[in-house]
Amino acid sequence: MILVILALILWAFGWWLNVRLAEGPNAGAPLVRLAVPVIFGVTVLLVWELLVRGLNVPMVILPAPSLIATRFVTSLPVLWVDFRQTILKGALSGYIMGCGAALLVAVLIDRSDFLRRGLLPVGNLVAALPIVGTAPILVMWFGFDWQSKAAVVVVSVFFPMLVNAVAGLAQTTAMQRDLMRTYAAGYWQSFFKLRLPAAMPFIFNGLKVSSTLALIGAIVAEFFGSPTVGMGFRISTSVGQLSLDMVWAEIVVAALAGTLFYGLLALIEKGVTFWHPSQRG
């Protein structure tokens, strides 16, 4: 009980600290920008640890962060091998292919009204094909190794990317388009000089949403058949062995990888769409 109360106090304190920092005079400093989420995260972890201990939650349901950390550190080689298999081979290649294909199709759709009318509704249909249905089929088609995982990722990132890219390519104002008309600019000229830059905020939106989908897709697809390596493989077999600490260690890897990738995308976005009001502050 004491631990539970302690957890609540800790939570209040962490939030108070963050309010002080974020509303304080140095809120813009890079250090503070980093510190605030970290404090938030650390608070969550501590509260978690205290609650698990205070409420005697069985380890097989929710292990304490300290247990997860121990497991993480002791299993680094395994985690690295799994990371390479799932993220580097499965997720990344699928992400690149899926987003690339979506961009291409978005351009096709943008070029032809006929295709827009015809393909978008069909695209909606593909979007909702649930991973649990597509993954077994794709494993059957592309084998057990990372190729089938990449295929699952392609299918799951394609539509979010397409919707965003199509919306983005329609983002120009009438005057901006008229200007291009007066220059009698060709399609590709106005594409590269007007529509693509104007679409960038939306495209990055799609890239960011897809990045997390890719990760999940690659991991989940391994539940439906895999070689004996990979994050999804490890998670599902560890659940069977009730090694919940291992499950969470893999989740930590996924979260770290996903966050880093997302951060990288956000950084590039800042560079590319510096002119957009949402980036100018």
Q: Site residues for other proteins, window 159-198 (CB under 8 A)?
A: 159-160, 163-164, 167, 173-176, 178-186, 189, 193-194, 197-198
The one segment of 2-10, 29-37, 46-54, 95-103 that binds other proteins by CB under 8 A? 29-37
> Counting contacts by CB under 8 A, is residue 41 touching other proteins?
yes
* Binding test (CB under 8 A) with other proteins, winner from 224, 264, 268, 270: 224
Residue count at the site for other proteins (CB under 8 A)? 113
* Binding test (CB under 8 A) with other proteins, winner from 102, 134, 153, 154: 134
Least distance in angstroms from the C-beta of 12 to other proteins: 13
> Counting contacts by CB under 8 A, is residue 280 touching other proteins?
yes
211 contacts 258 by C-beta, under 8 angstroms: yes
> Counting contacts by CB under 8 A, is residue 254 touching other proteins?
yes
> Counting contacts by CB under 8 A, is residue 122 touching other proteins?
yes
The one segment of 45-53, 65-73, 95-103, 116-124 that binds other proteins by CB under 8 A? 116-124
Query: CA 189, 194, 197, 198 torsion: positive or negative?
Result: negative
In angstroms, what CA-CA distances link 257 with 44, 60, 97, 212, 231? 20, 25, 19, 10, 12
> Counting contacts by CB under 8 A, is residue 219 touching other proteins?
yes
Q: Which amino acid is at 88?
A: L
* Binding test (CB under 8 A) with other proteins, winner from 5, 76, 88, 124: 124
Q: Taking the CB of residue 209, how many other CB atoms lie within 10 A of it?
A: 16
156 contacts 217 by C-beta, under 8 angstroms: yes
Least distance in angstroms from the C-beta of 9 to other proteins: 18
Q: Which residues contact 172 (CB under 8 A, 6 or more apart)?
A: 194, 195, 198
Least distance in angstroms from the C-beta of 264 to other proteins: 12
> Counting contacts by CB under 8 A, is residue 31 touching other proteins?
no
> Counting contacts by CB under 8 A, is residue 136 touching other proteins?
yes
Report which secondary-structure segment, H or E, holds 223. Answer: none
> Counting contacts by CB under 8 A, is residue 27 touching other proteins?
yes
* Binding test (CB under 8 A) with other proteins, winner from 5, 8, 19, 268: 19
244 contacts 60 by C-beta, under 8 angstroms: yes
Residue that the structure tokens 């002119």 belong to: 275
> Counting contacts by CB under 8 A, is residue 242 touching other proteins?
yes
Residue that the structure tokens 């899926």 belong to: 98
CB half-sphere exposure, 269, CA atoms < 13 A: 21
Q: How far apart are CA 264 and CA 269, in angstroms?
A: 9
According to CB under 8 A, which residues from 84 to 113 bind other proteins?
A: none
161 contacts 98 by C-beta, under 8 angstroms: yes
